[in-house]
Structure 1
Amino acid sequence: MMKLFKKGEFRLLWPFYLDALISPLFFFVPAFLVLYFNGIGLTFFQIGILMAVSNLTSLLFEVPTGAIADLYGRKFSVLTGFALEGIGFISLFFIQEYSLMILAFGFLGIASTFSSGAKEAWVIDLIRSSKKNLQKGYFTKSQSIDGTALILSGFIGAYAVKTFGLSIIWIATGISYFLAFFILLLAKEKKIPNRTKDFSVIKITKNSLNSISYSRKHKILFSFLLAAALLIFASNLEGQLAWITFLQDLGMQEYTFGYLWSTMAAMAVIAPLVASKLIKPKKERQTILLLIILGAITLLLVIFVNQMLPAIALLLTVGFFAHARRPAERVYFHRFVPNKLRASVGSVESMIISLTGIIAVPVAGLLVDHVGARYTIMSSAVVMLIAAIVYYKIKETVE
C-alpha cells in the first residue's frame, strides 16, 4: 500500500480509487453499442445522430451545470449527474422507437454535464487542500485502476450479452452509474468559503462567462482547447463506427468484441504507467506532441491492412498512444486554471468536446456509409497532424 500510494493519499482519495475499480466492471456499453443499434436496423448515420444529440444537449448545459458545481458543491453536482445517467441508461432497455431513443440520448447528454468538469475539480480541490503533490500520481493511478476494471468488464460483457442478449448493456450501464453514486457518497469534499447557498441565475451566468473569457484570453489554454477539439474530432472519425465496421468487414464475430474491449482496457492500464516515466515537470507539451505524431503515423498504416490480426494490432497501438497522452494532457491543462474557476473551465473544455462531437460523429457515420471504414480511419490521421502543429506552436512564456 505504501509503495503504491504516498503518505495520506489513500485516506484522502480512497473513494475515487474504489469508484475507478468497481463501477467500470459493468460499463461495457461502448463495446456493443454500435452492434446493438446496427442490429436493430439503424444506419451508421442514424447511430451518429444519436451520439450527436447527446453531445448537443451536453453543449447546451455544460457551462451552467459547471458553474452550479462551483457555487453549490462538486459532490452534489457529481452525484446528481450519476443518478440521472443511471436512470437514462436503464430507460433505453425499454425503448424501441427511434424518436424516443433520441430523447433518451438527449437526457443522457444533460445528465453527463453535472459530473463532467465537477468530478475532476472535486479531486483537484481535495489534493490541493492536503498540501501534497498527488496530482500527477492520481491521474496516472486512477486511469490504470479504471483500465484494470475494464479488462474484466469485457469478459463480463461477453458473458452477459451471450446469455441475455445485446439489450442487457443498458441495464448493466445503469448499474455502473448507481455503484459510482453510492461509492462517492463516502468521499470528502473541500469546502469553499464563499460558496452561496441561494440559487442565482445572474451569479451562475457571470461565473460561466468568466470561465469562457478566461479560456479565450489565455493563449496557452486557448491553444490547448483548440488542439483538444481537433483530437476529439479525429478520435470520433476513427472511433466505434469506423473500427467496428472495419473489423466486421475483415470477418470479426460479434461475441469477440467483448474480448477486444478487455484487450483495449489492458492497454489503458499499461499506457499511463509508461507515460508516467516519460512525463517530466514542465515538459508535458513535448510528451503530448510526440504521442500525437506517433498516433497519426500509426493510423495512416491502415491503408496496408487487409487481415484481422494486423488490424487489431493497429487499433491497440493507436489506443496505447491515446491513453499514454491523457495523464500529460490533464496535468498540462490544470497548470493554467485558477482554483475558483476550475470546474467551470473544465466544463468549457467539455463543452468544446461536445460541440466537436456534434459535428464529427454524424460526419463519421456518413463517411463509413459512403466511402468505407478504412478511409474514414485514415482521415483522422490528417486531423491529428493539424493538432500536432497547434501544440508545436504553443509558447510557454506566460503561465
Structure 2
Amino acid sequence: MNYKNRLRKNVGKNYLFILLNNFSFTNGIWMIYLASKGLTLTELGLIEGIFHITSFFMEIPTGAIADIWGRKVSRICGRMVSLLSSVIMLFSNNFLGFTIAFIISAISYNLESGAGDALVYDSLKEIDEDKKYMKISGLNELIMQVASTGGLIIGGYLSKYDYKYAYIAAIIIGLINFIHCFSFTEPKLEMKTEHKNLTILKEQVVESYNIIVSIKGLGFLLIFSQAIFMFNTSIFFYFQNYLLDNGISQDKIGIILALASLGSALVGANGYRIERKIGQVGIIAVVPILISVCIWGAALSKYYYIFFIAVSSMESLIYVVVGDYINKLIPSEKRATILSMGSMIFSAYMILIFPLIGKIGDMYTLKTSFQVIAFIATVMSIVSVFIFRRNNKKEI
C-alpha cells in the first residue's frame, strides 16, 4: 500500500480510536465515585483544579513533542499513561492517591490534545483533501458522542452495583485502544528533526506563539472556543452531583448524560451544514449568547436537564466549526503546538473556575454555583460579540 493510501486510512483508523477513547464507563460517575470515598465538593474541585494546573504547564511541551517527535508517538504515549491513571484510580482510597491519578491523567490528555487533530488534519492536507476536515470533524463528533452515550449508560448501570466494575471495563477498553494506536501512519512534515533537544523545543514554542500573535483573529478564536468548552465541562461534571442531590439514581444519571451526548452527536455531525446557514456571525456572535441563556435555564428552571442537553449540543457545534476555522489558519509544522496552546487556555479557565464552583457548592448549593457560571458566561458572551463586531465581522 502506498504512502497516500496509508494516510487516507488514518481517517478511518481515527474513527475507531475516537470510538474506543470515548467509550468511557467512568466519565459520568467519577465525581460521585470520589464522593463515595468521602471527598467533599471542595476537594473534588481541588482535584480537578490540580488536573488543570498540570495540564496548563504540560500542554505546550507535549504539543511541541507531537510536532517534533511525531503525532503517532505522542498518541501512543498518551494512551499508555491514561491506562496507568485508570489503574491508580481503581486502587486508590484517599485524596493523595486520587490526586496522583489525576496528575497522570492530565499528562495523557496533554499528549493527545494537540496530536490527534494534527494527525488527521495533516494526513488530509498531504493528500489534498483538507477541505473535507469540517465534515470529517463532524463525523468524529458524532462517533465521540455516540460512544460517550453508550459508555455513560453502561457505566451508570455498572456503578449501581460497584463503581470498580466501571474502572475495570475502562482499563480493558483502554488497553485495546493503546494497541490500535500503533497502526497509524505518521504524516511526513517539514519539521526540525535533526536535533531533537531543548533548544528546538524552545524554538518551536516561541515560533508558535509568534504565529498566534501575527495571524489576525487566531488568538481570539482560541480564547473564545476554550471558554465555551470550560462552561460545558464545568456543568457536565458538577451536574452528576446535582442530579444525585435531587434524588436521581446513578443509572438514570447515565441516561440523562447520554441524552446530552446524543444531542451533541446530532448537532456536531451537522455542524458543517449549520455553519453554511448561519455563517461566522451566527457561530461566534449568536451561539455564545444562546449558551449563556441555556445555562441560566439549567440553573433556574425545573426543566434543567433540557437546558443542560442544549448547552452540550451547542458546545459540540463550536468544537466542530471553530476547530476548522483554527486549523485553516495554522501551518502544519506548528499545528500540534498551537492546538495545545489552546488547550492550555482551557486549563487556565478551569484552574480558576472549577474549584470556585465546588467551594460555592459546599458553602451554599450547586444551584447557586450554576447561577455564578451563568453570570460569567453572559459577561463573556457579550465581550465576544463586542470583539467580533470590532473586527468588522471580517473572516477570521
> Do the two structures share a fold, i.e. TM-score over 0.5?
yes
Distance 1:155 1:234, change over 3 A: closer
- Structure 2 residue aligned with 1:341: 334
| Counterpart amino acid of residue 372 in structure 2 | S
Q: Kindly provide the CA deviation profile for residues 170-191 of structure 1, in whole angstroms up to 9, marking residues without a partner as x.
A: 3333333333222232122211
Does structure 1 residue 203 correspond to structure 2 residue 183? no
Contact kept? 1:68, 1:204, Cα under 8 Å: yes
Listed as ranges, the matches of 1:289-368 within 5 Å are 289-302=285-298, 304-306=300-302, 310-368=303-361
Pick the aligned partner of 2:71 from 74, 84, 92. 74
State the distance in 2 between where 1:106 and 1:59 align: 11
Q: Kindly provide the CA deviation profile for residues 75-132 of structure 1, in whole angstroms up to 9, marking residues without a partner as x.
A: 0111111111111111211111211221221122123211110111111100101101
TM-score between the two structures when normalised by the length of structure 1: 0.89
| Counterpart amino acid of residue 177 in structure 2 | A
Contact kept? 2:264, 2:312, Cα under 8 Å: yes
Alpha-carbon deviation of 1:247?
A: 2.0
- Structure 2 residue aligned with 1:3: none
Task: Provide the secondary structure at the position in 1 that maps to 2:362.
Answer: helix
Pick the aligned partner of 1:272 from 264, 268, 274. 268
Distance 1:398 1:254, change over 3 A: closer
- Percent identity reads 19
195-204 or 85-94, larger mean C-alpha shift: 195-204
Contact kept? 1:231, 1:383, Cα under 8 Å: no
Alpha-carbon deviation of 1:315?
A: 1.5
State the distance in 2 between where 1:141 and 1:196 align: 33
The RMSD of aligned alpha carbons is: 2.4
Runs of at least 4 residues of structure 1 off by over 4 A?
7-10, 396-399
Distance 1:12 1:100, change over 3 A: closer
| Counterpart amino acid of residue 151 in structure 1 | T
- Structure 2 residue aligned with 1:135: 133
Listed as ranges, the matches of 1:173-192 within 5 Å are 173-192=170-189
- Structure 2 residue aligned with 1:57: 54
Contact kept? 2:79, 2:174, Cα under 8 Å: yes
State the distance in 1 between where 2:146 and 2:366 align: 29
State the distance in 2 between where 1:168 and 1:278 align: 40
Contact kept? 1:293, 1:388, Cα under 8 Å: yes
State the distance in 2 between where 1:119 and 1:364 align: 30
Distance 1:296 1:397, change over 3 A: closer
Alpha-carbon deviation of 1:204?
A: 0.3
Q: Kindly provide the CA deviation profile for residues 284-317 of structure 1, in whole angstroms up to 9, marking residues without a partner as x.
A: 35324322111111222245424xxx22222112
| Counterpart amino acid of residue 269 in structure 2 | L
State the distance in 2 between where 1:388 and 1:178 align: 40
| Counterpart amino acid of residue 157 in structure 2 | Y
Pick the aligned partner of 2:25 from 28, 33, 49. 28
Alpha-carbon deviation of 1:240?
A: 1.5
Gaps of 5+ in 2: none
| Counterpart amino acid of residue 343 in structure 2 | S
Pick the aligned partner of 2:102 from 101, 105, 126. 105
Distance 1:321 1:229, change over 3 A: closer
| Counterpart amino acid of residue 108 in structure 1 | S
Gaps of 5+ in 1: 1-6
| Counterpart amino acid of residue 215 in structure 1 | I
Structure with bigger helix share is 2
| Counterpart amino acid of residue 24 in structure 1 | N
| Counterpart amino acid of residue 345 in structure 1 | I
Listed as ranges, the matches of 1:128-167 within 5 Å are 128-132=125-129, 133-163=131-161, 165-167=162-164
